[in-house]
Amino acid sequence: MKTKISVIVWNEFQHERQSSAIAEIYPDGMHQVIAQALRVGDADLDVGTATLDQPEHGLSEERLAGCDVLVWWGHKAHDQVDDAIVDRVQKRVLEGMGLIVLHSGHFSKIFRRMMGTNCSLKWREADEKERVWVVEPSHPIAAGLGEYFELPYEEMYGERFDIPQPDSTVFISWFEGGEVFRSGCTWERGHGRIFYFRPGHEAYPTYYDANVQKVLNNAVRWAAPRVNIVDVCPNAQPLEPIAKKALNFAKVGILQSAKDIQ
């Protein structure tokens, strides 16, 4: 019997290999830092990683079939993600798999597919302070957090964020330049749960932050499947006998004569 929550942390792993400054912050990639944060002290999580350049982007049918929660970070290579893999991930979310989309993953194919909107926003990279307000403290994703937490340096994302109305808005961010942003939002799609979490620009050590790590740990448990139901569209047999009827639509007044219609 399965006892652990199976998690895959997916990352493009492009910035870290193309920029020495970013490689200094995340020498083994953001995905490894996130994965390690989920592993430490959490025996109920079985955490693996996957990257863009692996065969099938590391998301084979078999691997996704065993995945409970997929954590997604993407930015500069959204268009390089194979549509067939996006279809595969969408199918699993609709069946019950959780999806956590991070930072610039708002423009990923899978997030835009699940939202059905452009997912556009304002942005600015100016080394700003971000104050993340916990506006839904009773939500499981906010467990163990204070009224707010701060990140000394982050990229600004500002409203309007073109997303469908969230089921819950757990966090709202304020930035030093004055903008605000719905930075922690949840939705249900099919049988699966989706959480978008804004912090995590590649040029800053955001994923080392204890509060950010707590949010990710909470989010994985919240998004874990409650069911796993493969979609079917069967022709259903009746549960009870259906009486035979001699149909005469004109007689029962359902159809009018051509004259009456005119």
The predicted-structure confidence for 51-87, as pLDDT tens digits, reads as follows 999 999 999 999 999 999 999 999 999 999 999 999 9
| 259 band by pLDDT with thresholds 50, 70 and 90 | low
Residue with the bigger pLDDT between 173 and 261: it is 173
190 close to 232: Cβ distance less than 8 angstroms:
no
Helices 210-223 and 30-39: angle between axes, nearest 10 degrees: 70
pTM: 0.92
**Per-residue pLDDT reduced to its tens digit, 86-96:** 999 999 999 99
The yes-or-no verdict on residue 213 having pLDDT over 90 is: yes
Q: What percent of the chain has pLDDT over 70?
A: 93
**Per-residue pLDDT reduced to its tens digit, 98-130:** 999 999 999 999 999 999 999 999 999 999 999
pLDDT mean across residues, the chain: 94
Report angle CA 75, 89, 207 to the nearest 5 degrees: 40
Q: What percent of the chain has pLDDT over 90?
A: 89
Please tell me the predicted confidence (pLDDT) of residue 178.
98
Q: Which amino acid is at 124?
A: R
Neighbours of 74 (CB within 10 A): 24
Q: Which amino acid is at 73?
A: W
| 262 band by pLDDT with thresholds 50, 70 and 90 | low
Question: What distance in Å separates the CA atoms of residue 85 and residue 157, rounded to the nearest whole number?
Answer: 28
- CA-closest candidate to residue 50, choices 18, 79, 76, 74: 74
Question: What distance in Å separates the CA atoms of residue 206 and residue 197, rounded to the nearest whole number?
Answer: 12
- CA-closest candidate to residue 203, choices 23, 51, 13, 74: 23
Residue 78 tokens, joined: 């959204």
Domains of the chain: 5-116+183-223 (3.40.50.880)
**Per-residue pLDDT reduced to its tens digit, 157-173:** 999 999 999 999 999 99
Q: Which amino acid is at 169?
A: T
The yes-or-no verdict on residue 251 having pLDDT over 70 is: no
What is the spatial order of strands in the sheet that 168-175 belongs to? 45-51, 5-11, 69-73, 98-102, 192-197, 180-189, 168-175, 122-134, 148-158
Question: What distance in Å separates the CA atoms of residue 55 and residue 11, rounded to the nearest whole number?
Answer: 14
| 40 band by pLDDT with thresholds 50, 70 and 90 | confident
Mean of pLDDT values over 134-145: 98
Please tell me the predicted confidence (pLDDT) of residue 248.
74
